[in-house]
């Protein structure tokens, strides 16, 4: 299973989308993603419509060699019938596995928040934001070095079952997807790392 950073944004006063509205927005999603500049023009985007949402997947770039460190990168955007917009991204990783680097995580979440805003789909002023890491057992809290892989890693969660996610316990304004992205990202990154077994 692939370990992914997930960011979920839900408008609180949204009635959701009708099947027609979801279809129309879904058809515009690839163009909206391209317009943000987050994905290069020559990268193929693949659309699908699983039950209850529209999805666009972005193929991950291949590292030069198996042990080449790879920065985090966007791999999927999902728009749900409820109005929720979710992005999923690979965490920075090297030959020892995915890394929860506090600085890199803060930067990556802020980037995903601004990207979500740039899609220009969510326009309601009151939203809730949550983040999580799927399959977190292989992650370690460490510093990501884009120049070289680590030689060792402390996988405190390996073999254990635990969840790594924040609870959307308070609403924020739409500014969280623009000027306020850094502040919200710092809170989310700190909360995710605090929940990791290595931080105990």
**2-32 residue pLDDT tens:** 899 999 999 998 889 999 999 999 899 999 9
Q: What tokens does 164 get?
A: 């790594």
**48-97 residue pLDDT tens:** 988 889 999 999 887 777 778 999 999 999 999 999 999 999 999 998 88
Cα–Cα distance measured from residue 28 to residue 120, given in angstroms and rounded to the nearest whole number? 11
Pick 164 or 130 by higher pLDDT: 130
φ, ψ (nearest 5 deg) of residue 133: -130, 120
pTM across the whole model: 0.93
169 by Cβ neighbours in 10 Å (0-12 / 13-18 / 19+) ranks as: exposed
Cα–Cα distance measured from residue 180 to residue 164, given in angstroms and rounded to the nearest whole number? 23
């Amino acid at each position: 299973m692939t370990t992914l950073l997930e960011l979920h944004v839900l408008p609180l006063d949204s009635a959701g989308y009708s099947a027609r509205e979801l279809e129309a927005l879904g058809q515009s999603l690839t163009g909206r993603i391209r317009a943000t500049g987050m994905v290069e023009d020559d990268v193929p985007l693949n659309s699908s419509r699983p039950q209850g949402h529209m999805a666009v997947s972005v193929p991950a770039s291949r590292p030069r060699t198996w042990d080449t460190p790879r920065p985090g990168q966007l791999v999927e955007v999902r728009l749900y019938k409820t109005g929720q917009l979710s992005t999923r991204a690979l965490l920075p990783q090297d030959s020892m596995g995915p890394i929860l680097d506090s600085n890199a995580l803060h930067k990556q979440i802020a980037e995903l928040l601004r990207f979500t805003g740039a899609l220009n789909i969510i326009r309601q002023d009151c939203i809730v934001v949550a983040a999580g890491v799927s399959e977190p057992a292989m992650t370690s809290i460490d510093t990501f070095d884009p120049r070289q892989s680590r030689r060792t890693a402390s996988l405190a969660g390996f073999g254990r079952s635990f969840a790594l996610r924040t609870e959307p316990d308070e609403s924020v304004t739409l500014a969280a997807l623009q000027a306020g992205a850094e502040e919200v990202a710092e809170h989310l990154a700190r909360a995710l790392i605090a929940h990791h077994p290595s931080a105990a």
